[in-house]
Structure 1
Amino acid sequence: MESDIITLRKPKATDGYALHKLVERCAPLDPNSVYCNLLQCSDFADTAVAAEDENGELIGFISGYRPPNRPDTLFVWQVAVDSRCRGKKLGQKMLFELAERLAPEGVRFIETTITPGNVASETLFARVFAALSAPVERSVLFSRDEHFEGKHDDEVLYRAGPFKLTPPNA
């Protein structure tokens, strides 16, 4: 990446196709349909964040939602960071942006699932949870044998919180 100028913002429906292409560039992320990505950028925009470079190219994205029976929780579905931007803490910046945006609405917990051995995701979330002083519980949410017929690794649920936002001047 030529410049480090990155803008974080709420996604808009017109980001859907660009999100689809970003996820394609971020193997081994599971791809979704373009239609699903359009919904993530429109109906779920309040619980998502888009990162774009100075040329307006989508270089990062976090999709999430608030489970209907747990409105105090943000479930992070997918984190995508373009390979040119890795190592610059963009994933952390996007997660903090979402936490700050949703905390005034009562969100105090963050959940995600991570397959065992996904060191990048484990590291990202461990750093964010530590910075938010959020205790973490782990459990298998979807098991390889019970839910994936042995064709996909376990999905381990990480539930962190309640979290504490650090005041901007701290």
Structure 2
Amino acid sequence: MSVDRPTVEDGSELWRLARDSEVLDVNSPYSYLLWCRDFNDTSVVARDDSGRPVGFVTGYLRPEEPGTLFVWQVAVDGSLRGQGIAGELLDALSAQVANTYGLSRIETTVTPDNVPSERLFRSYAARHGAELTRKVLFPAAAFPDVPGDGHEPEVLYRIGPLSI
């Protein structure tokens, strides 16, 4: 397995990985193409030996806090989950962003029922000796009332300060 920056050609595979995760909010295929073009310096992709994407982490630097990386989505192919790939990707992305821009903090949101993501970010904070704080960023009532799609609150995880 190798880790590098995503390319536009990876966009459809990132969309597939997000869709097949069965836990992520799946954005339009177009958005994954744009993400791979416009935010590839704050995102990473894991590739199998054939070069096919098998995992990714997408993120962006917050305009109001340039040293803060907001992690948008994390996905790993179902057949490879539980092998530490998401943690490796998050560490690789942190190093990439720190080397290019500087990095003092990571933020993400996690819904209360997403235990794997909670474990991933708690583990990341522990590995980096950083404090993790949580608070509700978007309550459930902030989301549109879509029939059959009761959205849980999005809890903001702030991890830092980091010294990477």
TM range (shorter): over 0.9
Q: Give yes or no for the alignment of 1:109 onto 2:105.
A: yes
69-78 vs 146-155, greater mean Cα deviation:
146-155
Correspondent of 1:122 among 97, 118, 121:
118
Following superposition, the deviation at residue 30 of structure 1 comes to 1.1
Check if 1:80 corresponds to 2:79: no
More strand per residue: 1 or 2?
2
Match of 1:91 in 2: 86
Matched, 1:136 2:132: yes
Q: Distance in 1 between matches of 2:163 and 2:144?
A: 35
Question: What is the CA-CA distance between 1:101 and the residue it aligns to?
Answer: 1.0
> d(CA) in 1 for partners of 2:31 and 2:117?
22
Percent of paired sites with the same residue: 43
Counterpart-to-counterpart distance in 2, 1:56 and 1:115: 32
Correspondence for 1:66: 61
Deviation for aligned residue 1:146: 3.2
CA distance in 1: counterparts of 2:61 and 2:163, whole angstroms: 18
CA distance in 2, matches of 1:127, 1:86: 16
Structure 1 segments, 4+ long, off by >2 Å, are 146-151
Provide Cα deviations, 1:74-100, integer angstroms capped at 9, x if missing partner: 000000000111111000000000111
- Between the aligned partners of 1:118 and 1:34, the Cα distance in structure 2 is 23
Q: 1:32 maps to what in 2?
A: 27
C-alpha deviation, 1:145, in angstroms = 1.6
| Amino acid in the other structure paired with 2:18 | V
Gaps of 5+ in 1: 1-5, 166-170
AA partner of residue 157 (structure 2):
Y
Give the whole-Å Cα distance in 2 for the aligned partners of 1:59 and 1:76: 18
TM-score (norm 1): 0.90
Offset from partner CA, 1:2-27 (integer Å, 9 cap, x none) = xxxx1100011111111111112111
The aligned length equals 160
Structure 1 CA distance for aligned equivalents of residues 23 and 161 of structure 2: 30
Q: TM-score normalized by structure 2?
A: 0.93
1:13 to 2, 8, 22: 8
Structure 2: gaps of 5 or more residues: none
The Cα shift of 1:148 comes to 4.2
